[in-house]
Structure 1
Amino acid sequence: MEWNKTKTIFIIAFLVLDIFLGYQFFEKRSSSEYDVIKNSSVQTDMNEDHITYGTLSDNAKEGSRITANQKSFTKEEIESLKGQKPKMDMPSDKHKVTKLKMEFTSPIALSKDSVEDDAKALVSSEFQDGEEYKLWKVDKDKKQVIFFQTYQGKYIYQENDDASEMIGQVILHLNDKNEVVSYEQSTLDTFKEIQKESLISELDAVESLYYQNLLKAHSTVKTVKFGYIAQYPLTSTQVLAPVWRITVEYEKTVDGTKKKVQENFTVNAMDSRVFDSSQIK
């Protein structure tokens, strides 16, 4: 009698287990089929809107948020900078310097034919932690050459190029002779990676722009680059989020004339949220 009861319990348990496993199988299969259909549909819609994006990886990768601190420059570090003089108050027991403002005693010429290369060489050799910075852009209107700090070779992007909110950035100031006369610098240090998470792929990031109606018809995705973004530049401790930086090119009519413009989008690589967009002049 007891054996019959036990056998019945086992049979019921196995039936419940089979039903559960079958449900899991079909749920997973349906989800997978839905993703294929969804991705296929989005890419078809993008093609119909004449949006080109080349070959993008659809492989997810692992990444993590990062914490970092604003570096405080010491008096010894500042005094070690040869051929330069400070344009700010020197550090003391009551005053920390997190942004260098320095002037060259003799302006440093940059060749008109190789402004970028000369600027890179200058920052790498003459600046504190200069090898950690990569060229971001040359702003001819403002007479500035802007560098962003990197982490493991990847840009730490800024929400804007405003020196008042700069973080992990170098801004070279030029005179009318194309000479560097002064600069500002801030640096992040003490990097720590927080728990790793799965990130969206390059293709996912571009598709997320399309979902949110941010990709114009007849536009071209020029580059998709991985990096980080510092969201709160006025705080001493930063949380850097992993992002995909996407540059898109399209035609725009200005004063009756068509011209090509480029726009940058910064997409959170963890949740597909778009941080910002900025037009490149």
Structure 2
Amino acid sequence: MDWSRTKTILIWAFLLLDLFLLYQVYVTRISQWNDKEVAQSEKWNTELYLNQQNITLDTEVPQDTPEMSNLDAEYIGINPISLHEISGLQATVEKMALAAKLDPPMQIRGQLNPQELLRQIGPRLIYSDQYVADPYQPNQSRLLYWQVYDKMPVFVAPLEMYLNNGTLLGYRQTFFHLRKQQGERQVISGYAALRSLVDKQIISPGERIENVSLGYYGSYDADIQTLVPVWRVVHDGKWHFVNAITGALERPMVTQR
């Protein structure tokens, strides 16, 4: 065997491999830079468009456009018998939800903070670690939380906490068993969702956009349903959901409050 020739071939092979890997890194970096430039351009153009329409953007719009798939959501309920073992809690089953009354009401410690309140009530709430506070909280007597899947809010699985004069009176909770469907697709941007609502005249001149959040949503009331990725847009207290894959407007929430 000609070791000198073999050594030369190996050197060239490793050199070509290094060049190929460097090229892949270069292409990836260029793609990332282009994506950032496109996102920044879309942000500026949309903000200019909103300003021209006399629409105030009073919130941060998430920049991420991850790949997401639909979810299967099955309502399995919460067994009130298990809650009866928790002292100071009276629980009843409602349609697609469990209502719990604290007896006696719980005094809130410290300054009211939705996430801290969730921690305080944790021992009296099943699955408390699977909910997150909604960043949009217009009513301080009713704090709103959502069940999450992969850190994304599920806009059909609310947890509502009822307060009065610094005390927590009770809560109403919906919980789903969630399963991910196959077939991920990249979502449209939050700015594209905003532009769609303005173009459809759903957001009118003079209005204020208060929150833009990415999550999951299903517009009908059933034991088993398919949830789709959506952008939730809150404007002047009104909620609208834009399909984050197709850009279509989803039907209003049946139980929206």
Do Structure 1 and Structure 2 share a fold, with TM-score over 0.5? yes
Tell me the TM-score normalised to structure 1 length. 0.60
Give the corresponding residue for 1:74.
Answer: 79
CA contact (8 A) 1:71 1:186 kept: no
Cα deviation, residue 56, structure 1: 5.9
**Between Structure 1 and Structure 2, whose CA radius of gyration is higher?**
1
Partner of 2:104: 106
Equivalent position to 1:86, from 66, 83, 91:
91
The separation in 2 between residues aligned to 1:144 and 1:199, in whole angstroms, is: 31
Residue 184 of structure 1 aligns with which residue? 172
CA deviations over 1:63-91 (Å, ceiling 9, x no partner): 111111112333663244333233459xx
Q: Is the 8 A contact 2:146 2:158 kept in 1?
A: yes
Would the aligned equivalents of 1:101 and 1:183 in 2 still touch at CA under 8 Å? yes
Q: When the two structures are aligned, how many residues end up with a matched partner?
A: 208
Q: Which runs of 5+ in 2 are unaligned?
A: 1-41
2:240 is matched with 265
The 1:201–1:109 alpha-carbon spacing in structure 2 relative to 1, beyond 3 Å, is same
Q: Deviations over 1:166-200 (max 9, x none)?
A: xx22222334x432233222211142234223422
Instruction: Identify which of 51, 56, 67 aligns with 1:62.
Output: 67
Task: Find the residue that maps to 2:250 and give its secondary structure.
Answer: strand
Deviations 1:117-166 (A, max 9, x none): 553223444310011112233635xx4333221112211124xxxxxxxx
Tell me what 2:139 maps to.
139
Identity of aligned residues (%): 17
Distance of 2:52 and 2:80 partners within structure 1: 60
For 2:234, the aligned partner's letter is: T
The answer to whether residue 224 in structure 2 is matched with residue 237 in structure 1 is yes
Aligned-residue offset at 1:50: 4.1
Q: Cα RMSD (Å) of the superposition?
A: 3.6
CA distance in 2, matches of 1:70, 1:179: 30
The alignment partner of 1:139 has SS state of coil
Which letter maps to 2:139? D
* Structure with bigger RCO (C-alpha 8 Å, 6+ apart): 2
Matching residue of 1:7: none
Where 1:247 maps in the other structure, the secondary structure is strand
